[in-house]
Amino acid sequence: MSIGSTPLRFKVELDTDRCMSCGRCIENCSYGVFQRKDNKIVVNSRNCVACHRCLAFCPRDAIDIYEKPTDYRSHPVWTREVREAVFNQAKTGKIIVAGMGNVLPYPIIFDQLVLDACQVTNPSIDPLREPMELRTYLGKKPAALFVKEHKNGDTELLTKLAPNLKIETPIMIGHMSYGAISLNAQTALAKAVTKMGTFMGTGEGGLHESLYPYQSHMIVQVASGRFGVDINYLERGAAIEIKIGQGAKPGIGGHLPGEKVCADVSCTRMIPEGSDAISPAPHHDIYSIEDLKQLVHSLKEATEWKKPVFVKIAAVHNSAAIAAGIARSGADAVVVDGFRGGTGAAPRVFRDHVGIPVEAAVASVDAKLRQQGIRNEVSIIASGGIRQSADIAKIICLGADAVYIGTSALVAMGCRVCGTCNRGVCAWGIATQKPELTKRLDPETNAVQVANLIHAWTDEIAELMGAAGINSIESLRGNRDRLRGYMLDEGLLKVLDVKTVGA
């Protein structure tokens, strides 16, 4: 072997003074780091992915994990990651695939935008005292209303309103399929969104029978593989989402390996057990924007025009023009998924190098739709890289109606963003189908944690709005005057339509 071993990614240290040899680390680690030998616990650091399951359950704080214990010769061009990717591909000749989102240290636009607050001239609003309106309606809004007055004084609305989705907070949970994540994880999310008056996406994995009680809070996805899609599925969802693309891997399809297609996943996806579930790169009945319109209309026709239809695209160079086409396709909302979005598995080259940040994409989509006078035709849902309530407030200022969160909801269930979802042995019982692992995730307690997160962020958004003297989220939407760019270049400030700090 000419390349030999590469340095350890993580070093696991066991403090033998503190360790009481209880073996919880052995039980909890699904990656095979710990072993009992001669009444002693021995460690194989090479298997560690830093998912922290062991140290989270060590009763004595006896475990420490260090990243990159060995140095390479430092080099600004030949980073460790670049060198290790070459080693890997020189050995295997294959495409590198990994879980979670973009790992390159691109600057984060959110962190270079600051929000406004009132001082003196217009007072801030106290959300404890005054009602704050965070309820949002997703879907088409009429360009004009026509009414008829009757002689008895009644007024009749003549304009036919399109169905909208009512959300009590602008935070929804994005599409993570059963298959990518466990049923217990999906159940926890379903309970949380139902409690919070919001919605979650099913992903392209069908809708498991045990989630039917939560179907009125589910957005069912129709993607290129059409897994789990039949008329019953479409009718169950509160809304339908056509997935064209995904921020973590724009332009390519998905692939759930046969190992993850257990009996239950097979039933929900409606494919044989153990077979690969391959979603092609394009929908093979959509080769043009006219074909997209055809699919939108076919879904509406199948469900008798009772449900909003969303279209999700990855944020790419021409998102604005694409979104303008989507707005004319009859769709009710466009989901813009930025290049920081997570995923169960993505080729490294796509994950790190394809797509654009959601901040720029949403701002340009919103601007284009307003320019063309069709902003009312679709709602904008931002997703991919939403990490905290401030991000939500900022993206709403840039024109979004609501957001999808994904990774943050998983983190609320224990995920440590170790990025090995693709391995299928998630120690937290999230990104796995192994029964001994999925049973670790209790849907009840995790539902509370996810609901807590949504609740806390919703409160924070209300506080931020109050501080800005705004009592309705509608007044925050597209309100770029409440944002300033800090150390952003002129070109980007122009795209975002935001002034610099101090201006």
Partner 1 sequence: MTAVRIDAKELHYTPLNQQIRKAICDGTKEIIIDNVLGQRFIGDGIRGDDVTLTVNGVPGGDLAMFMSGPTLIVHGNADHAPGNTMDKGRLIIHGSGGDATAHSMRGGRVYVRDSIGYRGGIHMKQYMEKRPILVVGGSARAFLGEYMAGGLLIVLGMNGQVPVAERGVGSGIHGGEIFVRGTVDEKYLGVGAKQLPATAEQMAMIKPIIEDFAKAFGIDPAPLLFAGYSRIAAASARPFANKYTPE
**425 is a site residue for partner 1 (CB under 8 A):** no
By CB under 8 A, name the one of 69, 197, 251, 257 that touches partner 1: 257
- Measured CA to CA, the distance from residue 282 to residue 245 in angstroms comes to 9
Continuous segment of H or E residues that includes residue 252: none
In sign, the C-alpha dihedral spanning 72, 77, 78, 82 is positive
**420 is a site residue for partner 1 (CB under 8 A):** yes
Candidate ranges 302-310, 369-377, 427-435, 484-492; the one touching partner 1 (CB under 8 A)? 302-310
In a 13 Å sphere around the CA of 67, the CA atoms on its Cβ side amount to: 6
Residue type, 352: D
Residue entry with tokens 């000749």: 93
**97 is a site residue for partner 1 (CB under 8 A):** yes
C-beta of residue 138 within 8 angstroms of C-beta of residue 168? no
Site map 308..347 versus partner 1, x via CB under 8 A: ---------------------------------------x
Q: Given the complex with partner 1, which of 183 and 476 has the nearer CB atom? A: 183
**258 is a site residue for partner 1 (CB under 8 A):** yes
Q: What are phi and psi of 298, to 5 degrees?
A: -65, -35
Tell me which residues in 208-237 interact with partner 1 (CB under 8 A).
224-227, 229-232, 234
By CB under 8 A, name the one of 58, 98, 315, 412 that touches partner 1: 98
Q: Given the complex with partner 1, which of 197 and 253 has the nearer CB atom? A: 253
Q: Given the complex with partner 1, which of 44 and 449 has the nearer CB atom? A: 44
Candidate ranges 28-36, 84-92, 443-451, 461-469; the one touching partner 1 (CB under 8 A)? 84-92
Question: Which residues in 12-31 are b (16+ Cβ under 10 Å) and which e?
Answer: bebeeeebeeeebbbebbbb
CA distances, 458 to each of 132, 326, 392, 464 (Å): 10, 29, 10, 10
**353 is a site residue for partner 1 (CB under 8 A):** no
3-state secondary structure of 91: helix
* Residue 115 bridge partners (DSSP): 483
By CB under 8 A, name the one of 16, 35, 89, 472 that touches partner 1: 89
**392 is a site residue for partner 1 (CB under 8 A):** no
- Measured CA to CA, the distance from residue 362 to residue 369 in angstroms comes to 11
**417 is a site residue for partner 1 (CB under 8 A):** no
Candidate ranges 52-60, 91-99, 124-132, 182-190; the one touching partner 1 (CB under 8 A)? 91-99
Residue count at the site for partner 1 (CB under 8 A)? 49
By CB under 8 A, name the one of 22, 141, 305, 497 that touches partner 1: 305
In a 13 Å sphere around the CA of 421, the CA atoms on its Cβ side amount to: 25
**301 is a site residue for partner 1 (CB under 8 A):** yes
**46 is a site residue for partner 1 (CB under 8 A):** no
Q: At what angle do helices 183-196 and 443-467 cross, to 10 degrees?
A: 40
Report residue 360 as tokens. 């720029």
Residues 6+ apart with CB under 8 A from 304: none
**422 is a site residue for partner 1 (CB under 8 A):** yes
Nearest alpha-carbon partner for 186 in 166, 215, 164? 215
**255 is a site residue for partner 1 (CB under 8 A):** yes
* Residue 256 bridge partners (DSSP): 277
Query: How would you class 262 by CB atoms within 10 Å of its CB: exposed for 0-12, middle for 13-18, buried for 19 or more?
Result: middle
3-state secondary structure of 426: coil
Tell me which residues in 261-290 interact with partner 1 (CB under 8 A).
266-267, 269-272, 275-278, 280, 284-285
Q: How far is the CB of 167 from partner 1 (least distance, A)?
A: 26
N- to C-terminal Cα distance for the chain? 61
Q: How far is the CB of 243 from partner 1 (least distance, A)?
A: 14
**434 is a site residue for partner 1 (CB under 8 A):** no
Q: Given the complex with partner 1, which of 5 and 122 has the nearer CB atom? A: 5
Q: Given the complex with partner 1, which of 186 and 224 has the nearer CB atom? A: 224
**70 is a site residue for partner 1 (CB under 8 A):** no
3-state secondary structure of 288: coil
**348 is a site residue for partner 1 (CB under 8 A):** yes
Give me the residues that bind partner 1 (CB under 8 A), please: 85, 88-89, 92, 94-98, 224-227, 229-232, 234, 255, 257-258, 266-267, 269-272, 275-278, 280, 284-285, 291, 294, 297-298, 301-305, 347-348, 419-420, 422-423
